[in-house]
Structure 1
């Protein structure tokens, strides 16, 4: 009988993301919104290890509480593996073990990173040799953030966020991320955005149907200037997220009082991302936030997308 430890294993690492810019278009007839976003992949990673198996299974390790995560066919990593198997006409399965560090329902695309890493891991494990374009097509079917988790770096996303184009960017950015134990429902935050816009219809401009990324953000990324980028950071989902969880606003205020160039909600929240001037500033901010009994971690960006790691 073959020992599980003797079977081949593929290890893939994929990054979480932050949206340094997120503009949300008007709600459409189908209830969805088009978006325009600037993604940056950061060094808070998900590690996916894959072994050959007769069926499909997933388990979790790591510092994140994963007790709420499904391990059946509704899990996004399992969906990714099954989708790839159908595409490649592969008749076997896979056993996945995911070491989670990206917060669940935290606005950083942890589930998307798991799905992207699973696509790369299964492609390597099964020898299916799909092209990058084929993997990106599968990724887009799994969710709006999955293609970016495959590519990493810094990129612009339009339509649902899954139409990617590379962003001209240079330099390295130092981030401090405040992680929350409780997650937020992305659909609920979008619904609150629609209500927010209705409440303030007389005070704010109508939402565009086809939003675009602000030129100041593109200029700041090209310059590699964190202070310039800090002045351009924007997230349409921040106001509704704070309305649903007012303590997020208090965290942003605390970080900016302690030296952050800017603080903002990552994606649909509740993770708060603080941009700092350099490594020393990031260390000082992490210490200050930790002293306030917040879970604060440092990260750098941009980093690569999902790729095989040689253990």
Structure 2
């Protein structure tokens, strides 16, 4: 069947009045950090993996101009949302505002965010909200931007936002925003454990710089991804990956939140192949042998009082959800 065509006398399909988009959180399966640069950033070489823990944004056209935001949460990790900004500083609101300049007739929009990814947890939850807002407002405002064009806007919002659009598995260079998709077709199974408090990403980077100064360590430049990580991801062999996954920010996160060391040890004791701080932390990602092992590890960690959730990856990036009928 051929695609529908519209004559000059016909109007294109009307934009929807409300859409829902979900976007995944991520794990940094490998994260290498270069020295502090003159511009205040660190060069990184990261292997990103999008996992099946999704933020959801419902975007609705409003009669009044401007962008408004509300937030709630649901899901097994019981994400607290009290400290999330609801004004123009919210990253999803910033994403919508950035997209508005590309729309012929941008309307007012209300963004309702359902949080499931830990806040300030090293999993890119705010970046997922921004990616979801870009996709949602693109649909509401009929901007018809390509994924590449949306990714260009995303890069101006934060280092992790382009990956939240892309999803899957990718190598991230620069400050993490220069992405190259990587092959990883076999699902990998993880258990995430959320912390009761978040960690500031800038504070973790500052702690890393301080540790390197104290220990007289010289960071590599240019920073590169370990080929063994990519080989393990391609093979889908969890044991091979457990032997090589690493995070240069982990020592800094453990300095700021030393209780995480005991949590990592508990996960391995209960059956994880390996455990690692995700990104800047404090969420811990435990790698499991397979789906059954992840389910058993989730139950064991919950029995010891931890907020644990079994997930898998890779999964797709930000996507429109079907309209709710009825």
TM-score by length of 2: 0.91
Q: In the TM superposition, what is the alpha-carbon distance from 1:295 to its structure 2 partner?
A: 0.5
**Is residue 258 of structure 1 aligned with residue 259 of structure 2?**
no
Please show how residues 216-295 of structure 1 align to structure 2 within 5 Å. 216-295=228-307
Structure 2 counterpart of 1:25, from 31, 34, 40? 34
- Alpha-carbon offset, residue 89 of structure 1: 4.2
- Give me the whole-angstrom Cα distance separating, in 1, the residues matched to 2:168 and 2:105: 31
Match of 1:167 among 154, 169, 182: 182
Question: Which of 8, 11, 16 lines up with 2:20 in the alignment?
Answer: 11
Residue 126 of structure 1: CA displacement? 1.1
Query: Secondary structure of the residue that 1:88 maps to in structure 2?
Result: coil
In structure 2, distance between residues paired with 1:89 and 1:161: 31
Offset at residue 270 of structure 1 (A): 0.2
* Whole-Å separation in 2 of the counterparts to 1:29 and 1:191: 14
Q: Identify the residue that residue 196 of structure 2 maps to in structure 1.
A: 181
Name which of structure 1's ranges 35-44 and 276-285 shifts more when overlaid on structure 2.
276-285
- Matched positions, count: 302
SS of residue paired to 1:87: coil
- Paired position in structure 2 for 1:146: 161
Kindly indicate whether residue 45 of structure 2 is the aligned counterpart of residue 36 of structure 1.
yes
2:4 is matched with none
CA distance in 1 between counterparts of 2:106 and 2:126 reads: 25
State the partner residue of 2:224. 212
CA distance in 2, matches of 1:215, 1:175: 21
Instruction: Using the TM superposition, give the Cα deviation of residue 254 of structure 1 relative to its aligned residue in structure 2, in angstroms.
Output: 0.5
1:58 and 2:73 matched: no
**Equivalent of 1:200, from 205, 215, 238?**
215
User: 1:157 maps to what in 2?
Assistant: 172
Which residue is equivalent to 1:128? Answer: 143
Cα deviation for residue 114 of structure 1 reads 0.1
The TM-score normalised by the length of structure 1 is 0.95
Assess if the C-alpha contact under 8 Å between 2:102 and 2:143 holds in 1. no
CA distance in 2, matches of 1:181, 1:305: 27
Where does structure 1 lack aligned partners over 5 or more consecutive residues?
1-6
* 1:88 is the counterpart of 2:100: no
Q: What per-residue deviation string (whole Å, max 9, x for no partner) do you get for residues 108-141 of structure 1?
A: 0000000000000000111110111110000000
Runs (4+) of structure 1 moved beyond 6 Å? none
User: Is the Cα contact below 8 Å between 2:106 and 2:141 reproduced in 1?
Assistant: no
Give 5+ residue unaligned stretches, structure 2. Answer: 1-15
The answer (yes or no) to whether the contact 2:167–2:318 under 8 Å persists in 1 is yes
